[in-house]
Amino acid sequence: MPADLPVLQSATLPSDAVEVGRIGEAWGIKGWFKIVPYSANPEALLSGGSWYLLPSEKGAKSFFSGTVLLTVKQAREHSDSVVATAEEILDRNGAEALRGARIFIARASFPKAAEDEYYWVDLLGLNVVNREGVELGQVKDLLATGPQTTLVLSQEVDGKPVERMIPFVSAFVDKVDVAGRQITVDWQLDY
C-alpha cells in the first residue's frame, strides 16, 4: 500500500448501523473531505465519534475492503454539505482515497430526537392503522415533499400490492408508537 494512503482499522459493523451518507471529494489540503449526507438534517454525522466505512458499491474500487473504522476529529455543516476531518486522514491524498466510501453510524449513538420528532429510519417498517383499527399498510419509505414529509405505505390487498401515501403531519397523524411498531392516523382506505 502506498505511504500516502490512510491506515484504517478493521471493524465489525454494528447490528444497528444505519447508512447516513457517503464521502465526496477532498476539501482543502489538510485532510478534510466533503460528505454527501442522506438527510436534510445531518445531526448524526455532526455528533462526531466513530464512523464505520464500507467501500463504494459503484465507481472506482476502494483501497480497503470490508468494514473499517474512522475516528472523526471534527464535522461541521458547510454550504449544502458537511465537511469533516478524521484522525486517520493526514492530507488531501488520504481524503481523496476515501472518495465514495459509504458511512454508517450505530443507531444507538444518534442524538436523542426532540419530543414529537422522529428519525426516518425509526419509522420504516411500522404498521399504520386508522382510528377504527383498520390496517392501512407498513411504512416502506418517506418522501420530503416540500413543506411536509409523506409516509409511503405498502400493503397487499387481494394478492395485489397497493401503495398509499399519507402526509406525516399532526392533522392526520394521531400517534406514533415506535416501541409498539405502530402509527395511528386519521385516514380511510378510500382516500
For residue 1, the model assigns a pLDDT of 43
Question: From CA 162, how far away is CA 159, in angstroms rounded?
Answer: 9
Residue 11: the pLDDT is 92
- Is a pLDDT exceeding 80 seen at residue 137? yes
**What is the band of 2 on the pLDDT scale with cuts at 50, 70, 90?**
very low
pLDDT band at 60 (very low <50, low <70, confident <90, very high): low
Domain 9-109, second-level architecture = Beta Barrel (2.40)
Query: Which fold, 120-185?
Result: SH3 type barrels. (2.30.30)
Domain extent listing, the chain: 9-109, 120-185
Decide if pLDDT at 3 tops 60: no
pLDDT digits (tens, 9 = 90+) for 18-56: 999 999 999 999 999 999 988 777 888 888 689 999 998
The pLDDT assigned to 59 comes to 65
